[in-house]
Structure 1
Amino acid sequence: INCNIVVSKPELTDEDKAELKEQAMEQYKDEQLRELRRQSQPKAQPKPTPTSHKAGAEIDSIPNLFDEL
Structure 2
Amino acid sequence: MNTHFIRQKNKQSSSKRVCITIIKQTKLLEEKYKNILGIQPNRSQIYLSYLKTLINKLKNRTE
TM-score range, shorter chain: 0.3 to 0.5
Q: Going by fraction, where is strand more abundant, 1 or 2?
A: 2
Structure whose CA Rg is larger: 1
TM-score under structure 1 length normalisation: 0.35
Which is bigger in relative contact order (C-alpha 8 A, separation at least 6)?
2
Q: Going by fraction, where is helix more abundant, 1 or 2?
A: 1
